[in-house]
Amino acid sequence: MESRAKLLGHPIHPMLIVLPLGLFIAAVVFDALYMWRGSPTFATVAYWNIAAGIVGGLLAAVFTGSRFPPAHGRSGSDCSTVVPTSSLF
């Protein structure tokens, strides 16, 4: 499935998903440093990495290019065939 959300001909979602993943990995590293060294600065950095990762993940989710639920008149997207709507609630 080709993404409909593009920037200069390149899909946006793959560009945006890398940053939150890196932030979440960095948060784990800073949490480990906090547990090892006990400096509250490491805990603060880990907290803000998680917060920024959530915001970045939500931004990346906007640019997935898929439609869930499918638009009126369409047969459905890949998501609707894999995950039934009733299981989301």
pTM: 0.65
Please check the confidence at residue 89 and state whether its pLDDT lies above 50: no
Q: How confident is the model at residue 59 (pLDDT cuts 50, 70, 90)?
A: confident
Which residue, 57, 51, 48, is CA-closest to 19? 57
Q: How far apart are CA 10 and CA 69, in angstroms?
A: 25
Q: Is residue 24 part of a domain?
A: yes
Q: What angle do CA 32, 59, 31 make, to 5 degrees?
A: 5
48: in domain: yes
Q: What is the pLDDT of residues 24-54, one digit of tens each?
A: 999 999 999 999 999 999 999 999 999 999 9
Q: Reduced to 3 states, what is the DSSP secondary structure of residue 10?
A: strand
> How confident is the model at residue 27, as a pLDDT?
97
Question: Which is more confidently placed, 2 or 40?
Answer: 40
Q: Is residue 1 part of a domain?
A: no
Q: Give residue 34's domain range.
A: 10-88
Considering its fold, how many domains does the chain have in total?
1
